[in-house]
Amino acid sequence: MGSGGGHRHARRSGGGSRTVLIVGAVVVGIAGVAVVGMLLTRGGSVHADVSTKPTAHYPGTTAAHPSSTVPTTTTPPTTAPLPLAGKVVGIDPGHNGGNFSDPTFLNQTIWNGRESESCDTTGTETDGGYTEATYNFSVAELLRADLTADGATVVMTRNSNTGVGPCIDQRAKILNAANPAVSIDIHADGGPASGRGFTVLEPVDDGINSAVITSSEQFGADLINAFQQTGMPISTYDGTSGVAYRPDLAGLNLTTEPKVLIECGNMRNVTDAAMLVSPSFQQAAASAMASAIVRFVHSEQS
């Protein structure tokens, strides 16, 4: 889709696109928890949630040899190491559930690596009122579980879906500070109602991210391959063959690790929306992301 219409929260299209119509009951529900969330996430510091799982321990072979003439041999472990053992992976679940409650916070100006823009937006939602922030966080939690089971240390930019922020530049900085092997920004789009499918948004060289342009493209290709297994088609309205190069996103402009942003589907399309709200699709989406991450990390090592 070109510039202009819809709620393309990610592409800056000249104003008017950030207003999201939301059902009154949702506002009340979010407002009840937003105060708590703001207390937790504001006040000058932004915390990163780091969860770790101990790596599998393989005791060394200590069997004594009865004869000193027998050469020492090493018995290989009987269990393969976890595929992401020793690796750090970053996850940024876009927006936050409380963002609706604090336009002043969202409208503060940040530097996105190329230009000034707003801290963040509310994100989009389905016609039924299921918010993108909720989707993003749900998939992020499922992905975190998958990655942790694979042995990774996972860093996330927010720890709940009830707070406000952090701003998009801070999200990039949180992940950069953890020095991950790879990171993923999880979103869903608010495109034209007739448009379907997922798009992988990739960085454009701006000096800050120069070292990770090629690797991000590789990760993007791995992600496109894996995500088609979810049944969500490649976008019919954005990018080319599932890829859109985006110089206007802080998360991609400021990254120092391989990273892409995935728009997992179009929340304003009825067919996509039915998939996006489904727990089984959300698990499939997380599994596809985990699979792509494992593939990418191993290709980087080989």
**Least distance between Zn ion and beta carbon 189 (Å):** 7
**Least distance between Zn ion and beta carbon 261 (Å):** 8
**Least distance between Zn ion and beta carbon 281 (Å):** 17
- 263 a catalytic residue: yes
Quote the crossing angle between the two packed helices 279-301 and 132-149, to the nearest 10°. Answer: 50
Q: Which is nearer to Zn ion, 144 or 171 (CB)?
A: 171
The residues of the shown chain that bind Zn ion, judged by CB under 5 A, are 9, 94, 123, 187
Residue 296: both structure tokens together:
């990418």
Any idea how long the chain is? 302
**Least distance between Zn ion and beta carbon 59 (Å):** 46
Catalytic residue among 117, 202, 257, 263: 263
Q: What is the CA radius of gyration of the chain?
A: 21
Q: Which is nearer to Zn ion, 181 or 184 (CB)?
A: 184
Angle subtended at Cα 139 by Cα 281 and Cα 107, rounded to the nearest 5 degrees? 125
**Least distance between Zn ion and beta carbon 300 (Å):** 27
Rounded CA gap, 220 and 200, in Å? 6
Q: Which is nearer to Zn ion, 18 or 53 (CB)?
A: 18
Are residues 164 and 96 in contact, defined by beta-carbon separation less than 8 angstroms?
yes
Which of these, 220, 204, 209, lies nearest to 261 by C-alpha position?
220
Q: Which is nearer to Zn ion, 85 or 110 (CB)?
A: 110
Q: Which is nearer to Zn ion, 123 or 258 (CB)?
A: 123
Q: Which is nearer to Zn ion, 9 or 246 (CB)?
A: 9
Torsion sign across C-alpha atoms 247, 253, 258, 262: negative
- End-to-end CA, the chain: 38
Rounded CA gap, 186 and 199, in Å? 11
- How would you classify residue 83: left for phi > 0, otherwise alpha for psi between -120 and 50, otherwise beta? alpha
- How would you classify residue 257: left for phi > 0, otherwise alpha for psi between -120 and 50, otherwise beta? beta
Are residues 248 and 201 in contact, defined by beta-carbon separation less than 8 angstroms?
no
Are residues 249 and 112 in contact, defined by beta-carbon separation less than 8 angstroms?
yes
**Least distance between Zn ion and beta carbon 17 (Å):** 12
Q: Mind telling me the catalytic residues?
A: 263
